[in-house]
Structure 1
Amino acid sequence: MKLSKEFKIGIVTIVTLIGFFMLFNFLKGQNIFSSGRLFIVKFENVKGLAPSKPVSINGLRVGQVKEIKIVDDAKPIYFDVVLSIDKDIQFSKKTIAEIYEPGIMSGPEVRLLLDYGPDIAKSGDYLEGRVAGGMMDGLTKQLSPTQTKLDSVLVSFNHTLQGVNNILDKDAQQDVKAMLKNLNNTVASFDKTAQSLTATSNSANNLIASNQKTLSATLTSAKSTVEKFGQTADKLNELQLDQVIKNFENVSKNLNGLLEDVNNGKGSLGKLAKDDGIANELEATIKNMNSLVEDLKKNPSRYVNISVFGKKQPIQP
C-alpha cells in the first residue's frame, strides 16, 4: 500500500507536535509519563510559588508542583496547590506541606514535613499547608531590635539637641560661634606652623644632602682619631702594667734575698735568729729592765732627789 504525500506530512506534523509538547513539559520540569500520587494543599498566600517547582523531603526531590488553582469565589480567596509525588513514600494525612525559600537567588519551593501516623494519605487527599519565613523575613526580624534601639537613640539625641537649643540663648550662641571661629583660627595657625616646620625640615635635609661628602669625611677622620687614641691608651696601659710587674718582681727578689740572709745567719737579724747566746743575753737584759722599771715605780726616791724649800731629802736605803 502506497502512502500519499499528504498522509506522510500529517504523520510528521503529529509526531513533531507530540515531541514539542513533551520537550516543553520536560523543560518546565514536568514528567508526562509520571504516575505519581496527587495531593492538594490549601494556601492563602503562595509567596510567588510557581508550577513545576520541586517538592522535597529532607532535601531530596520527590516530586513537583503540578498546578496552582485560584479559588476566587470564596472570601477571602485562597489557592489550591496540586503536588505530584513520584516517590512511593508513605506518610499520614497530618503531614505538612510548607512553602520555603532555600536560598536568596532561588525562588520558593515546597517541602513535606512528614508525619508517620496511622492515617495514611492517599492520592487526592488534602494536606495541611503553611508558609515558612524567608531569609529576608528572618533578617528583618533580627534587625528589628537594632532598628528599635537606633530609633530610641535618635529620639534621645533629638531631645538633647532641643535641650541644648533651649539652654543656649542668643548671647550664648554668639559666644559659641566666636569660640568655634577662634578654634578655626587656632587650627589654621597650627597648619601654618606645621608648614613652616616642614619647610625647615626640607631645608635641613637639603643642607645635609649638599654637605654629605664633607660630613662623611669629617666623621671618617674623627673615627680614625678615636681609633688612634684608643691604640695609644692601650699602649700606655700596657707599659704601665709592665712597669708595675717589674717593680713587684724586684721587691719579691729583694724580700727573698733578705729571708735567705736571715736563714743563713747573715746580718743582725740573721745572727739574732741563729745565735742562741745573743738571744739569751737579750732576754736577760729585757728582764733586768723590767725589774728596774718596777723598782722605779715602787721606790722613786732611790733614784730621784727632791728638794723641798732648798733642803735635800735623804736618800732612802
Structure 2
Amino acid sequence: MKINFNREQKIGLFAILIAASLYITINYLKGKDIFGTTNIYYTVYESVDGLNATGPVFIKGFKVGTVQKIEYQEKSENFLVTMKVDSKFSIPDSSIAQLYSSDLLGGKSIRIQIAKGDRIIGERDTLQSQIEPGMIENIAAQILPLKDQASELISNLNTTFVNVNEVLDPQAKKHLAMSIQNLDRTLQNIKNITSNLDQNGPEISSLISNLDNLSSSLKKSVVVLDKGLGNITEITDSLKTADLSGTVKSLKDLLLEINNPQGSIGKLIKTDSLHNSIDVLVRDIDVLIKNIQDNPKKYIKISVF
C-alpha cells in the first residue's frame, strides 16, 4: 500500500528531520555522545588556561571522551572540570587527570594517566589532577631569569658609564689622549724594531749559528767534565776505602823513631860518629887513589909467564 503525503505533511516531516540532524550535530560538536554510553568524572584545576569545553580527553594517546563543561568555584577559587569518558574504559582510583599543552598555540587537553590498582573509580567520582608546564611556560621560565640578569647588567653598565663620565674631566681626557699618543709612538717604535730585525736577518742568523756551535762545544766540554768528575769520584771513593788512618799512624811512628835519639835511626841522624867515620873513609880512599896514580907499580904487579 502506497502512502501518499500531502504538501503540508512533507514539509512537517522534512522539518523534523532537519531538527533531529541539528540536535545530533550540535550535541556532537559539544562533545556529547548521543548513541554511546559514557561515564561522568570530575577533576579540579587551579587554572584551565587554554582548555575549552568539548576539548578531548585521551588515554595513552587515544581519544576516550570529551570535556563536558568547566565551572568556576568561588569558594575554593578553582575550576571544576566535568569529563565524559567512554564507559568501556575502567579507570583505577589512583589515576591522574593531567592537563597538558596539545599544540604550539597554547591549546590544552586532558590525558588520564592510568595507574596500577584494583579499585576502579565509580561514575561521578573525582580524579586527581595535575598540570604539566607547557613549552611556552618552560621557555618563559628560562627567559625571565635571563631578562632580569640583562636588566641588571644594563643598569650596571649605565652606572659605570656615568662614573666614567664623572671621572673623565677635561684634564683627565687630555691625559688619556696623551697616553693614547704615547701608545701609538710605542707601537711605531716596535714596528721600526721589527723592520730592523727583518733587515738584519742574515746577521741574526749567523749569530744564532755561532750560538749553536758554541752550545755544541759546551756539550762536548760537559762530556769531558763529566769524565773528569767521574775520575775524581773514583779517587774520592778510593780514598774513602783506603786505610788512611793506618798510614798516618805508621808515618807518625816512623817520625817518632827518627826523632828518638836512643833508637838506631836516631843515633845515625843525631850523633856525629857516623858522619866523622864516613868523612875519614872518604879521605883515606882519596889518598889511596892518589898514591896509585903516583906509583902504580907499588900496588899493581904484572907477571909475564
1:57 alignment partner, one of 59, 62, 76: 59
1:118-267 superposed matches below 5 A: 118-173=118-173
> Which amino acid in the other structure matches residue 35 of structure 1?
T
**Gap regions ≥5 residues in structure 2:** 182-305
Q: Which amino acid aligns with 2:118?
A: P
Q: How far is 1:140 from its partner?
A: 1.0
Change (3 A) 1:78 1:144: closer
8 Å Cα contact 2:50/2:106 also seen in 1: no
Q: % of aligned pairs identical?
A: 26
State the 4+ residue runs in structure 1 displaced beyond 6 angstroms.
174-180
Report the Cα distance in structure 1 between the residues aligned to 2:63 and 2:164, rounded to whole angstroms. Answer: 64
Residue 195 (structure 1) aligns with = none
CA separation in 2, counterparts of 1:30 and 1:105? 25
Distance 2:152 2:165 in 1: 20
Aligned to 2:254: none
Q: Cα RMSD (Å) of the superposition? A: 2.9
> Shift in Å at residue 53 of structure 1?
0.9
Asked whether the equivalents of residues 62 and 87 of structure 1 are also in contact (C-alpha less than 8 Å), the reply is: no
How many angstroms does 1:50 deviate by?
0.9
Aligned residues: 179
Aligned-pair CA distance for 1:26: 3.1
Residues 156-203 of structure 1 show CA distances to partners (whole Å, capped at 9, x for unaligned) of 3123212212211244457879999x9xxxxxxxxxxxxxxxxxxxxx
Q: In the superposition, relative to structure 1, how do residues 87 and 61 fare at CA in structure 2: closer, same or farther (>3 Å)?
A: farther
> Once the two structures are superposed, what CA deviation does each residue of 1:217-274 show, in whole Å capped at 9, x if it has no partner?
xxxxxxxxxxxxxxxxxxxxxxxxxxxxxxxxxxxxxxxxxxxxxxxxxxxxxxxxxx
Mapped contact 1:91–1:117 kept (Cα < 8 A): no
Stretches of structure 1 that go unaligned for 5 or more consecutive residues are: 183-317
Amino acid at match of 2:11: I
Work out whether residues 100 and 134 of structure 1, in 8 Å CA contact, stay in contact via their aligned partners in 2: yes
How far residue 117 of structure 1 moved from its aligned partner, in angstroms, is 2.2
Structure 1 counterpart of 2:65, one-letter code? G
| 1:39-75 CA distance string (max 9 Å, x none) | 011223211311111111222222111222333xx32
What amino acid maps onto 1:150 in structure 2? A
Normalised by the length of structure 1, the TM-score is 0.49
Within-5 A mapping of 1:45-124 = 45-71=47-73, 74-86=74-86, 88-105=88-105, 107-124=107-124
Match of 1:231 in 2: none
1:79 offset after TM fit, Å? Answer: 2.5
One-letter amino acid of the structure 2 residue matched with residue 14 of structure 1: I
